[in-house]
Homo-oligomer: A and B are copies of this chain.
Amino acid sequence: MAVVDKVEGETGEEAGLRQPLETAVVRFAGDSGDGVQLTGSLFTLSTALAHHDLATFPDFPAEIRAPAGTTYGVSAFQIHFGGREIRTIGDRPDVLVALNPAALKVNLGDLRPGTVVILDVGSFTERNLRKAGFTEDPREDGSLDPFRVVALDISGLTRRAVADTGLTSREQLRCKNFFALGLVFWMFDRELGPVIEWTRQKFGRKPALCEANIAALKAGHALGETAELPQLPAFQVPPASIAPGLYRAVTGSEALAFGLLDGARKAGLQLTFCSYPITPASPLLHVLARLRGYGVTTFQAEDEIAAVCAAIGASYAGALGVTSSSGPGISLKSEAIGLAVMTELPLVIVNTQRAGPSTGMPTKTEQSDLLQALYGRNGDAPIVVLAAASPADCFTMAREAVRIAVGHMTPVMLLSDGFLANAAEPWKIPDLDTLPAFPVRFRTDPEGFAPYARDERLVRPWVRPGTPGLQHRIGGLEKQHETGEVSYDPENHQRMTDLRWNKVLAVAEDIPEQTLEQGDPGDRVCVVGWGSTYGPISRAVTTRRRRGEKVAHLHLRHLWPLPRNLGRLLSGFEKILVPEMNKGQLVHLLRSQYLVPAMGLSKVSGRPFAVAELEQALDRLSEERP
């Protein structure tokens, strides 16, 4: 995040030169009705076409449509892009576009000296200032002095630019996001062509609105080009060296959906996806509901319990049963997940974690369901637990969840979170045909069949009802070894408990050994992460390593069972730091498993770690050096 340093004090296009920047963070913010999310998407498209690497994150308000002008009605979209690999959405914006006072208000705390702040002062009416909670006009009380404020009447300029398009005054105003976008396009030297084309495709059915938006876009761009605004910098961001191929943007929700679909196909199964709406898990259901022509049946159940039970029923019947939820909904599924453990059926449970406890902050992100994933059921009921590290990684880990569930006849919980679900990144579209397949072989041979007989990996056979001669009964009561009949025999219960335990542990033989993302086993410090902390940890470790510090980054995607070499690997480090968006859950597991003095770094604010926070923690560790 050394970006701002470089631009401080410079003005735009002095002597016709654009200011070089390695990476930049732009945040668009405005009222829910201001079209901020669309603006963000278009800027993302343009950024991708400019061959930058990038990461984006939308920040929706918790309320559906909060009253206009309020702080809790602010919608934002952040993009981090540049000429190197982008791993986070950026700690703080270099450029903030604030389309109303409330948008300025809620973002003020995130700005640093020198941040470029583009304000639509056309919206800075007294009423709006009051609604936003300003007692004084921030433009006048000096609170904006540290920033490079570009104060423009974007509302007015937009109205003028689209005056001839036949729109009502209210409709005209709704083009102001395109005006702002045009201006930012100029700042980053972007082509307008592709975005204009895309806009025509998207809004083609409303030609007046479409052309007005384009006019506003062009006007914004022209303003940058022609008006000499001393505070308005012009940047030059180099293209990143990106592996060649065809790309698209994916959110974690999309990637997860695609991964489940591909996983089911590679297993040779129909996907039966059973869920109940809940923030931020719903988008996964929405994406899949639109893809019902691609081999998925989606089922919106009456509640989360019915959803998981239907998924179990589907798996029992020989499809791939998947269920998905978040927070309270995952809690409700606890009992039924135990049933899947006992019946030893494949089941994928996607947990898009959100800030808790209880209803908590549904639209905010957190990683605080790890221990629940591991232990949140009655009895000793082990399941496999996985976590995706980035939006695109959701594709890979969804496939992995399917592979393990069907290969080991076990429930697998895949942990995502609110950040991953909504964040987007460029994704090199894989050639699905070349990805490994893991076809299921249903048991069909009655000869010697026993429903709870096991193979060498302790896996029992999967039988599709309808198969002649293999009729049998399963259920949640303790099962007799091999026969699967109900049993209250003490020795058998011990044996079966051990078998269920060891069966899940045996998955460790079927997953890769743990490797380091960066660094070597001989380094002094190891930062151990899991899930969506990947980006910030990775960036922080890279920075420190550049400075010559012996810091490694280890990132867990398999959380239970843990990779078989993990204990060995960890024992080599002097210090182990475990940053988590919870009160210390993975660190708890690692300490117990390996008796290593791992230290937690906890952040529970509903927001991802900032790179700077991790660097500070590493600094504190270094200071501790004897």
Contacts and interface: CB of A to CB of B under 8 A. Distances in A.
Interface of A: 62, 72, 326-328, 330-332, 334-335, 338-339, 341-343, 353, 355-361, 363-364, 366, 368-369, 371-372, 374-381, 475-478, 488, 490-491, 493-494, 497-498, 500-501, 582-583, 588-589, 591-592, 595, 597, 603-607
B364 A604 contact: no
Nearest to A592: B592
A361 B501 contact: no
A444 to B, nearest CB: 27
Contacts of A376: 331, 334, 372, 375-377
B604 A493 contact: yes
A595 B380 CA distance: 23
Given A368-B379, A595-B597, A361 B488 contact: yes
Contacts of A603: 494
Contacts of A488: 62, 72, 361, 363-364, 606
B501 A330 contact: no
A379 B597 CA distance: 24
A623 to B, nearest CB: 23
Contacts of A491: 605
Contacts of A494: 603-605
A279 to B, nearest CB: 12
Given A488-B606, A491-B605, A494-B604, A478 B360 contact: yes
A432 B332 CA distance: 40
Nearest to A588: B592
Given A334-B331, A359-B477, A360-B476, A377 B372 contact: yes
Name the 6 nearest CB pairs between A and B, nearest first.
A356-B379, A357-B379, A359-B476, A357-B381, A490-B605, A358-B476
A476 B357 CA distance: 8
20 contacts: A327-B379, A328-B338, A330-B378, A331-B338, A332-B332, A335-B358, A342-B359, A342-B360, A358-B476, A359-B476, A361-B488, A364-B493, A368-B378, A371-B371, A375-B375, A494-B603, A497-B604, A498-B604, A595-B595, A595-B597
Contacts of A341: 357-358
A154 to B, nearest CB: 27
A500 B357 CA distance: 10
Contacts of A363: 488
Contacts of A353: 378
Contacts of A335: 328, 331-332, 358
A518 to B, nearest CB: 27
A76 to B, nearest CB: 13
A368 B601 CA distance: 30
Contacts of A369: 378-379
A380 to B, nearest CB: 4
Contacts of A583: 380, 497, 501
Contacts of A372: 334, 375-378
Contacts of A478: 355, 360-361
A358 B331 contact: no
Given A488-B364, A607-B490, A358 B334 contact: no
A233 B358 CA distance: 63
A90 to B, nearest CB: 16
Nearest to A340: B358
Contacts of A477: 358-361
Nearest to A332: B335
B359 A582 contact: no
A359 B331 CA distance: 17
A475 B357 CA distance: 11
Contacts of A592: 588-589, 591-592
A338 B354 CA distance: 14
Given A358-B477, A494-B604, A595-B595, 12 more contacts: A328-B378, A332-B334, A334-B372, A338-B356, A357-B500, A360-B478, A361-B488, A361-B493, A364-B493, A488-B606, A493-B605, A494-B605
A462 B72 CA distance: 30
A497 B585 CA distance: 14
A339 B357 CA distance: 8
A497 B375 CA distance: 21
A215 B328 CA distance: 62
A371 B373 CA distance: 11
Nearest to A501: B583
Contacts of A332: 332, 334-335
A491 B369 CA distance: 20
A334 to B, nearest CB: 4
Contacts of A339: 358-359
Contacts of A375: 371-372, 374-376
